[in-house]
Amino acid sequence: MKSAFYKISVCILLLSLLGFMSCKEREQHVNIQLSLENSEVEGRETEQFMHLEIGPDRTWAISVEGSEDWVFVNPASGVGESMIIITTAENGSEPRTATITAMSGISSASIELTQLPIALVDVFGNTNFPNTGASRTLQIRTNLAWTASITAGNSFARLSSTASGTGNGTINVTLDPNPSGVERSANLRVAVAEQEVNLTLSQGLSTTRPEQDIPFRIELPEVRNSRWFIDHTYLALEFDTAQRHAVWVAFVFNSALRQSAVSRTDRWAYDPLIPVQYQWAFPRVVSRPSDMPSFRAAGPFDRGHIVASEDRVSSLLANHETFYISNISPQFTPFNQSGGLWYSLEGRVRAWARDFDTLYVVKGAAINRAGTRYTVQGEQRTFGGVEIIGTIPERNDVTIAKYWFMAMVGRNGDSFTGIAFWFENSQESRGPSSVLHNYAITIRQLEHKTGINFFPNLGIAFPAIYEFVETNINLSNWPLR
C-alpha cells in the first residue's frame, strides 16, 4: 500500500514538474521588444514615446533601474502592444543612465536611456516674430553670470534694459515691424564663461491673410501687459503676476487641431515661460506631476482647466500645455465636473468646433477687480470691475474667481458668427448642455463685464462684419443638439 502511494506521489510530482517545465518553456518563448525614439536625450525636461511590442494577450509591467527619480513611465503596466510615455526630469549635473525593463511572466527586455546634463547656458522661448513686430520673453537657465547682445539685425532688433544677470533669468527681445516683402532675421548671443548660445530671431513677410501673424491672430484679445503675453505652441495667454492667474487663455480649433491623437497626460507642471515665484504652486518643488499641490486647502475646489485637456489632444505637446498651471484655476467641483455648467459648455464647444472651418476661442476666469478704462467717443469709461470669491494664501495667494467666461467666433470661409457665455463659479452652477443658451450673451456684453477687448484683430482683418459679430447672437448657429 505504501509502495503504491509512493508511486502515485512520484507520478503526480513528475506531472507537476512537466507542467511547470512546459509553462516555463512557453514563457521563455515570449518575445518582448522595446524601442525608444531617442536613447540619448538633452538635459532639460523631455518626453518621448517608447514602443513595447508583445503578444496581444500578454500582461506586462515596466520597471526603471538607476533612475534616481528622474525617469517617469506612463502607463507602468498593461496588456498587449503599447505606446508608453517616457518623461525625464531636468538634469543639471552629470550625464546619467537608466535601464528601462519590460517584464511579462519570467520574460523581460531592457533598453538604456542616457540623459546629458543641461548646457552651461540654455536659452529657450518663441523666436519667431510676425511682420508687424512684437516682443518676446526668452528664458535663460544657468547658475553663472551671463550677458546677452544682438549681434546681427541691430537696426530692427533690440533688447530691453536687462541684458545681463547671474543665474536663471529672462530677457525681453523686441523686433520692429517689417514693411518689406522679404523675410529677415537677427541673431541673439548669450554668453557664459567660455560658452555661448546663438539664437536666430526670424521675422516673416507681410501676408494677404493678416490673421496668420501673431498681432492679427483672430483668437487673441487685446493684450494689456505685453510683458506677460505668453505665446505657447497651442495656446496663448496673458498672465497677471499679482493674482498668480491668467487674465485669459486663447486658442483655435481647425481641421488639424480637432484631431484626437493622444489621451489626457495629467502632466502637471509649472509654466516654463513664467518665473516660478509668480505661479500658484510656489514654493513647492515639483519634480514629478504627482507633486503638484491641490486647492483643497481652501475648500471644495478642483484644479480646473481654463483650456480643457480634451480641447488639445492633437499631440502630446498640445495636451501638456493645458497642464501648465498658468492654465489652471480654482473651480468648485460641481461646476467643473460632469453635470456642471462649465463641463457642459466645454463639451459643446468641441462639438461646435466640427461645425466651422475655424473656431476662435477665449476662455477665462474674471479677475479684473479694478476694471479697465477705455476712451469711448472721447469719454473715459470703466469696464469690468468684478467681484471675486477670495484668494488661497496656501497657494501663493492665487485668486478664486467668482465668474467664468467664454467668447467664441466661428468662421466658415469669410462668414463669421459670435457668441459669449457668463457663469458663476459656485456649488449650484450645474446643468446639462440643453440649458446653456440661458447663459449666452453677446461678445460686446462680455467685454463690458470683464473689461477685456475680445477679438480686436477681427476688426482689423474684417472691419465690415466686426460690429455685427460682436453685438449679435444667432443661436441657430450654436445648436445644443
Reported as a single tens digit per residue, the pLDDT across 243-288 is 999 999 999 999 888 888 889 999 999 998 898 899 999 998 888 8
Shared domain check, 167 and 274: no
* 311: in domain: yes
| 216 and 276 together in one domain | yes
Contact 328, 364 (CB under 8 A): no
DSSP 8-state code for residue 353: H
Domain boundary pick from 68, 98, 115: 115
End of a domain among 65, 88, 115? 115
For residues 132 and 178, give the distance between their C-alpha atoms in angstroms, rounded to a whole number.
6
- Residue 58, domain CATH: 2.60.40.10
Give domain status of residue 426, yes or no: yes
Cα separation, 291 vs 276, in Å, equals: 15
Do the domain assignments include residue 20?
Answer: no
Q: Are residues 295 and 411 in the same domain?
A: yes
Q: Has residue 241 been placed in a domain?
A: yes
Same domain, 107 and 215: no
Does residue 240 or residue 198 have the better pLDDT? 240
In DSSP terms, which residues pair with 176 in a beta bridge? none
Cβ atoms of 200 and 187 within 8 Å: the answer is yes
Residue 130 CA to residue 205 CA, distance in Å, equals 8
* Within a domain: 23: no
Mean pLDDT confidence for 185-214: 69
Is the same domain home to 404 and 422? yes
Q: Is 95 in the same domain as 133?
A: no
CATH number at residue 431: 3.40.570.10
Residues 106 and 126 in one domain: no
pLDDT digit string (tens) for 111-143? 999 988 766 566 766 677 777 777 777 777 776
User: Residue 406 and residue 365: Cα distance in Å, rounded?
Assistant: 9
For residue 2, pLDDT beyond 70: no
Any idea which residue has 481654463 for its cell?
306
Considering the domain architecture, whether residues 75 and 100 belong to the same structural domain is answered as yes
85 lies in some domain:
yes
Domain that holds residue 285: 210-477
Average pLDDT in the 357-368 region? 96
Task: Give the model's pLDDT for residue 241.
Answer: 93
Q: Are residues 94 and 148 in the same domain?
A: no
The answer to whether 150 and 188 have CB atoms below 8 angstroms apart is yes
Where are any strands of DSSP class E within 403-462?
A: 403-412, 415-424, 440-441
For residue 82, name the pLDDT band (cuts at 50, 70, 90): confident
Q: Are residues 156 and 136 in the same domain?
A: yes
Question: For residue 307, is pLDDT > 50?
Answer: yes
Give percent of the chain with pLDDT exceeding 70: 88
* Residue 27 covered by a domain: no
Note the pLDDT of residue 214. 44
Residue at which a domain ends, from 115, 145, 162: 115
CB atoms within 10 A of CB 457: 21
Note the Cα 459 to chain centre separation in Å.
28
Q: Are residues 282 and 374 in the same domain?
A: yes
> pTM here?
0.60
pLDDT band at residue 68 using 50, 70 and 90 as cut-offs: low
Rounded Cα distance, 395 and 325, in Å? 12
Give the contacts of 80 (CB within 8 A, at least 6 positions apart).
Answer: 54, 55, 56, 57, 58
DSSP codes, 123-192: EES--EE-TT-EEEEEEEE-SSEEEEEEEE-TTTEEE-S--EEESSEEEEEEE----SSS-EEEEEEEEE
Count the domains in the chain. 3
Say if residue 256 is in the same domain as residue 385: yes
Asked if residues 284 and 293 have their Cβ atoms less than 8 Å apart, the reply is yes
Does any domain span residue 14?
Answer: no
